[in-house]
Amino acid sequence: MIAEIIPFIRLPRQLATFTYAVPVELAGHLAIGQYVKIPFRTQKIFGLVVEIKPNQTNGLKSIEKIINPIPLIGHDYIEYLKKVAGFYGVSLSIVSALALPPLQSQKITD
C-alpha cells in the first residue's frame, strides 16, 4: 500500500505530493486527512495524507508515524486546497500549511 503525502516544507509549485510506503502496522489506521511523520532528505518532517492506493511499495521510503488518529480534513477540502494553490500559483504544501492547524514539533513526543 502507498500513500500520497503533502510534505510541510517550502517546495516549488510543480511538486505537490510525494509517494511513501505504508508499513503493515499502520495500514489499518491510516486515513486521508491525517498528519504523519515522514523522512524527507536527511530530516524527519510532517506531512498530510491526501491519497491512499493499493500499489506496490518497491524502493519507497516509509511513513514513520501517524501524528493524529482522527483525520483533520476530508477529500473535498483537499480538492479545494488544490484549486486555491492553482489559483494563486503557489505550491500545495504552502497552502496546506497555512490552511491547517500548526504543528509544533517540540510539543509532539515520539
Q: How far apart are CA 92 and CA 107, in angstroms?
A: 25
Residue 105 burial (CB count, 10 A): 10
pLDDT band at 21; cut points 50, 70, 90: very high
d(CA 20, CA 55) in angstroms, rounded, equals 11
Residue 83 grid coordinates: 484549486
Q: Write the pLDDT tens digit of every residue in 33-43.
A: 999 999 998 88
Q: How far apart are CA 106 and CA 27, in angstroms?
A: 26
What is the number of other CB atoms lying within 10 angstroms of the CB of residue 87? 9
Question: Higher-confidence residue: 55 or 74?
Answer: 74
Q: What is the pTM of this model?
A: 0.85
Query: Is residue 46 classed exposed, middle or buried when 0-12, 13-18 and 19+ CB atoms within 10 A define those classes?
Result: buried
Query: Rounded mean pLDDT of 75-104?
Result: 88
Residues 55-70: tens digit of each pLDDT: 887 889 999 999 988 9
Q: How far apart are CA 77 and CA 110, in angstroms?
A: 28
- The pLDDT value given to residue 76: 94
